[in-house]
């Protein structure tokens, strides 16, 4: 049995600065929503073009609903990756989310304050990569 008398030191949480960063999807997981029972969400893992104070690339996660329509985050993400809005013609069978692994876009990072007053970095939205802008 573990001792509950153990002292836990403060953990340094390094915030990614607010800004726009190149981002690569390195993993997609399907998880049960922590907000709605029975709803499944995609948890996207992004390698952000930012290194922490130890010089390591930062991985950030973003929950995205399993919806593909013009108001969904998945639609926004696919638009950013493709450099144009997805259509039923470009994805006649819908989208296979695992096919997004390895794809790149830019992620807009914002800081959000939680109800308990702590601040954390969040991927707010997605933009096309720099090279897609030049096409």
The DSSP result for the chain, as a single string, is ---TTPPPPPPP-PPPPSEEEEEEEEEEEEEE-SSSTT-EEEEEEEEEEEE-TTSPEEEEEEEEES--STTSHHHHHHHHHHSS---TTTSTT---GGGGTT-EEEEEEEEEE-TTS-EEEEEEEEE--HHHHT-
Q: How far, in Å, are 43, 94, 115, 126 from residue 23 at the CA level? A: 15, 23, 28, 9
Share of the chain above pLDDT 70, in %: 90
Reported as a single tens digit per residue, the pLDDT across 71-86 is 999 999 999 999 999 8
Mean pLDDT computed over every residue of the chain: 88
| Residue for token pair 């601040």 | 119
What's the pLDDT at 19? 97
Contact 46, 60 (CB under 8 A): yes
pLDDT at position 133: 47
* Higher-scoring residue by pLDDT: 26, 113: 26
Chain segment 38-75, per-residue pLDDT in tens: 889 999 999 999 999 989 999 999 999 999 899 999 99
The residue-averaged pLDDT of 28-47 equals 92
Between CA 75 and CA 64 the distance in angstroms is 10
Low-confidence winner among 1-5, 50-54, 79-83, 103-107 (lowest mean pLDDT): 1-5
Taking the C-alpha atoms of residue 21 and residue 134, their distance in angstroms, rounded to an integer, is: 17
Q: Say yes or no to pLDDT of 135 above 60.
A: no
């Amino acid at each position: 049995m573990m001792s509950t008398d153990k002292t836990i030191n403060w953990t340094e949480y390094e915030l990614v600065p607010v800004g726009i960063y190149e981002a690569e999807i390195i993993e997609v997981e399907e998880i049960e929503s922590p907000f709605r029972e029975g709803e499944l969400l995609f948890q996207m893992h992004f390698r952000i073009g930012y290194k922490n104070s130890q010089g390591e690339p930062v991985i950030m996660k973003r929950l995205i609903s399993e919806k593909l329509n013009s108001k969904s985050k998945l639609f926004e993400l696919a638009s950013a990756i493709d450099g144009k809005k997805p259509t039923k013609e470009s994805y006649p069978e819908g989208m296979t989310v695992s096919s997004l692994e390895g794809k790149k876009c830019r992620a807009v990072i914002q800081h959000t304050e939680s109800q308990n007053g702590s601040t954390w970095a969040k991927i707010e939205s997605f933009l096309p990569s720099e090279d897609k802008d030049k096409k």
